[in-house]
Structure formats: structure tokens, C-alpha cells
Amino acid sequence: MDASNTEYFEKQRINKYIAALIILFVGIIPISSFAFLFYILYSRFETSAFTKEITKFYLSSFVVFLLSFFVIYLFLSLKLEFGVNSKGIVFRFFPFHRKFRFIPFSEIKNYTIRKYNPIFEYGGWGIRYSVKRNGVAYIISGKYGLQLELVSNKKLLIGVKSPRQVLEFLKMFSPEKYVEN
């Protein structure tokens, strides 16, 4: 490993196919169904454009559009940023964490890189709590993560894209806390 390269940093984003499915189901289907319903219900009648019923329909359509837009924005802006440097580990699960969370090596009891199953161990992706008492997980994609056990006996799993590189950097800065699984 190159001595001049003393930091590791990675960004993970949601899979583009999952993002396309989210846009389809959360955005296109509800909005197009409202447009189709509007066409079916109100296009064949000789009614004013601002009756009480049509105004409620416009308002509910607007609310569905805003909620769809918000959910799409939320999923498309999700990113997990993770880094290792000589002082410790930093991570952030944007947009839920605005600032980076820092864990110094002095607060880490031990660490390991392990393969995990996000659905069976944590119930899915995102910020999750383990059903198998593996602590809190920050997962966007992949199947490998950095499992930390803190001095306070809390467990934390952070999903990583490059497990070998992360392990090399962690061993370079804190080799005595590594536990092989």
C-alpha cells in the first residue's frame, strides 16, 4: 500500500434499476391514474371547471403529485458516504444525516469485514435495526459490511463497496482491533 495514500473514502448510491422501479411505482403510476380518472369522470360532462367536487379532485391530485415527488427525491438523493483515516471512521447516510458521524479508533473495541444478508438480518436496506441482535446497520447496496463493536457494547454495520480496501486501511491504522470471522 502506498504510504502517501492515507485516507479511504467511498460513496454508495441506490441501484439504478431500483431507482427506475421507484420512479415508476411512486411517480408515474399514481399521477397517470389520476389523469386517467380525471379524463373519465369529467371530460364527458358539461360541468364547470371549478365545482366543489372538481376542486377537491384538483387538490387531491396536487397532494399526490407532491408526495410522489418527495418520495422520488428522497430515494434518488440517498447516499452512504464512508471513510477511514488515521483518526477513525467517518460515515453519513444522506439525507438523514446532514453531518458526518465520526467514530475514533479509541471507541472501537473490535471490527471485522463480513458478508451479511440485508433482508434476513436487518429487514431490508436503509438505516435498520437488527432482528438478530447485530445492532444498527447503514445499508444501501451490496452484501459486505464493516461490523464494528464499540467500547459501549453497541454494534454497528456499515455497508461497503470494497471490503478488501477498507480492511487494508483499517489494518494499517488499527491492526490490533481486527477480529477475523
27 phi and psi angles, rounded to 5 deg: -105, -60
What's the pLDDT tens digit per position in 26-78?
777 777 777 777 676 666 656 555 567 667 777 777 787 788 888 888 888 88
Helical axes 29-42 vs 52-77, angle rounded to 10°: 170
**Separation CA 117–CA 113 (nearest Å):** 13
pLDDT, residue 109, reads: 93
| pTM, two decimal places | 0.75
pLDDT, residue 114, reads: 92
Residue 97 has pLDDT above 90, yes or no: no
Cβ neighbours for 102, distance < 8 A, ≥ 6 positions apart = 87, 88, 89, 90
Beta bridge partners of 104: 88
What is the rounded average pLDDT for all residues in the chain? 83
